[in-house]
């Protein structure tokens, strides 16, 4: 099976690529080739038993080589993320909408319709603090990024109905702890308040301690994306979008988990309100009742303390090296 990862140089793209390289299969099928495509050529992945090409280019002018003719599975992760899409309307619209159109156009030209796993977002909903949305909740996005994600879900569902491809859109929670450096997502501080203290650095918290957020770990997000790529889609019918089973936690819960794993670390978090960030993340629902995902075999979430420990086990050394931090 040949696989392409669009946005293959990003955080989740690299996680999926590493898992595929390590396991050599997707579900029960052996991987025979992988393309990693991003705006600049992604970092090569070590240790794979199959060939990997790392290509640079713009999603909107998608080269055929990004999704070769015999591709069976496409992970469409390339995106302009939340705060950047809100700050730069043209860029967000171009990449998140026209880019998704380009993916559909390329998939239409393949001999066999590929599985397309698309990363939608909790930001495609609104509802704010205290919300508990069920699988039938309407998407009423409160920002341009969420609107672009919801629109992309719809055109992918229509492309599925037409037989151009076989889409599964996962409405991912905020993924915590993001390793490396801060990015341009409005939700970036949810990772920073755990990651920076674990690196021995100070950081700012822009929302109150009782702010509630819907999150998942990188391990769980990767598992879900691989499950979405391998699952039988017959049970989905016309509804190609799934809210996976994340965790609803408060900032105080997150800081308590940090303290449990690294006593004293939460003292490095300063309270500095930021109205612009609070407005974006405050529009997102703080919880879901993800019954459909559970029935479709998406794995349940681990406890918060395990999520913090997983950063130490999986990412701390690489993040220290990446940021040239000497301890
Ligand atoms: N990380 C999260 O918390 C989270 C939550 C919900 C949804 N998502 C979605 O999951 C996906 C992956 O998230 P991530 O955290 O890995 O993001 P990321 O920013 O690390 O990766 C996205 C990649 O897309 C690439 N990209 C942007 N514009 C491009 C273009 N014009 N052409 C080619 N590549 C382009 C970027 O260079 C980047 O490497 C995104 O679609 C994001 O919107 C992420």
Instruction: Answer whether residue 186 shows pLDDT above 90.
Output: no
Cα dihedral 268, 270, 276, 282 sign: positive
Count CB-CB contacts under 10 A for residue 133.
21
pLDDT of residue 82: 81
pLDDT tens-digit series, residues 82-129: 889 988 999 999 999 999 999 999 999 999 999 999 999 999 999 999
pLDDT band at 183 (very low <50, low <70, confident <90, very high): confident
What's the helix, strand, coil split of the chain in %, to 5? 45, 20, 40
pLDDT of residue 76: 98
The percent of residues in the chain predicted with pLDDT above 90, rounded, is: 94
Contact indicator for 75, 229 with CB cutoff of 8 Å: yes
- DSSP of 105-121, one letter per residue? HHHHTSSSPPEEEEEEE
298 in any annotated domain:
no
Instruction: Output the average pLDDT for the chain.
Output: 96
- Tell me the average pLDDT across 13-33: 98
In angstroms, the Cα distances linking 185 to 27, 85, 95, 121, 175 are 31, 9, 15, 12, 11
The percent of residues in the chain predicted with pLDDT above 70, rounded, is: 100
Those residues with Cβ within 8 angstroms of residue 314's Cβ, 6 or more apart along the chain or in another chain: 179, 218, 219
92 in any annotated domain:
yes
292 in any annotated domain:
no
What whole-number distance in Å separates Cα of residue 258 and Cα of residue 198?
Answer: 8
Token pair recorded at residue 243: 């809210």
Ligand 1, residue 145: give the atom nearest the CA. 43
10 in any annotated domain:
yes
- Tell me the average pLDDT across 64-88: 95
**Ligand 1, residues at Cβ distance < 6 Å:** 7, 9-13, 38-39, 58-60, 77-81, 95, 99, 119, 121, 172, 174-175, 183, 187
301 in any annotated domain:
no
Closest of 212, 216, 214, 194 to residue 203, by C-alpha: 194
Count CB-CB contacts under 10 A for residue 120.
24
> How many domains would you assign to the chain?
1
pLDDT of residue 213: 98
pLDDT band at 177 (very low <50, low <70, confident <90, very high): very high
159 in any annotated domain:
yes
- Tell me the average pLDDT across 36-50: 96
- Which residues are identified as catalytic? 145
pLDDT tens-digit series, residues 208-249: 999 999 999 999 999 999 999 999 999 999 999 999 999 999
pLDDT band at 327 (very low <50, low <70, confident <90, very high): confident
Contact indicator for 112, 76 with CB cutoff of 8 Å: no
What whole-number distance in Å separates Cα of residue 57 and Cα of residue 59?
Answer: 6
Q: Which residue has the higher pLDDT, 15 or 83?
A: 15
36 in any annotated domain:
yes
pLDDT of residue 268: 98
Ligand 1 centroid to residue 263 C-alpha, Å: 33
Instruction: Answer whether residue 176 shows pLDDT above 80.
Output: yes
Ligand 1 centroid to residue 28 C-alpha, Å: 27
Ligand 1, residue 174: give the atom nearest the CA. 3
For residue 36, the domain's CATH number is: 3.40.50.720
Tell me the residue range of the domain where 25 lies: 2-125+134-173+217-242
Q: What DSSP element (H or E) covers 304?
A: helix 304-314
Those residues with Cβ within 8 angstroms of residue 159's Cβ, 6 or more apart along the chain or in another chain: 104, 107, 108, 116, 165, 167
Least confident of 61-75, 113-127, 155-169, 177-191: 177-191
277 in any annotated domain:
no
Which 8-state DSSP code applies to residue 43? P
């Amino acid at each position: 099976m040949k696989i392409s990862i669009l946005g293959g140089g990003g955080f989740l793209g690299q996680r999926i690529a590493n898992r595929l390289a390590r396991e050599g299969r997707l579900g029960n099928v052996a991987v025979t080739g992988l393309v990693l495509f991003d705006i600049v050529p992604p970092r090569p992945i070590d240790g794979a038993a199959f060939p990997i090409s790392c290509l640079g280019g713009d999603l909107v002018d998608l080269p055929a080589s990004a999704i070769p003719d015999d591709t069976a599975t496409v992970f469409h992760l390339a995106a302009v993320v939340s705060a950047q899409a809100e700050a730069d309307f043209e860029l967000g619209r171009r990449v998140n909408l026209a880019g998704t159109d380009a993916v559909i156009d390329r998939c239409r030209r393949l001999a066999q319709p590929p599985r397309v796993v698309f990363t939608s977002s909790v930001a495609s909903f609104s509802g704010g603090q205290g919300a508990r949305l069920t699988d039938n909740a309407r998407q009423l996005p409160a920002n341009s990024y969420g609107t672009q994600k919801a629109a992309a879900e719809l055109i992918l569902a229509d492309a599925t109905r037409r037989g151009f491809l076989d889409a599964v859109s996962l409405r991912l929670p905020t993924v915590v702890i993001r390793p490396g450096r801060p990015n341009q997502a409005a939700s970036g501080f949810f990772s920073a308040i755990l990651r920076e203290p674990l690196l021995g650095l100070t950081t700012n918290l822009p929302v109150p301690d009782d702010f509630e957020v819907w999150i998942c770990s990188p391990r769980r997000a990767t598992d879900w994306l691989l499950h979405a790529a391998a699952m039988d889609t017959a049970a989905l019918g016309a509804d190609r979008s799934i809210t996976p089973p994340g965790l609803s936690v408060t900032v105080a819960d997150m800081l308590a988990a940090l303290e449990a794993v690294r006593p004293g670390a939460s003292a490095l978090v300063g309270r500095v309100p930021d109205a612009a960030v609070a407005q974006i993340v405050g529009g997102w629902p703080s919880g879901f009742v993800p019954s459909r995902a559970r029935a479709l075999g998406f794995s349940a979430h681990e406890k918060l303390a395990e999520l913090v420990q997983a950063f130490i086990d999986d990412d701390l050394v690489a993040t220290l090296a990446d940021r040239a931090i000497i301890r």
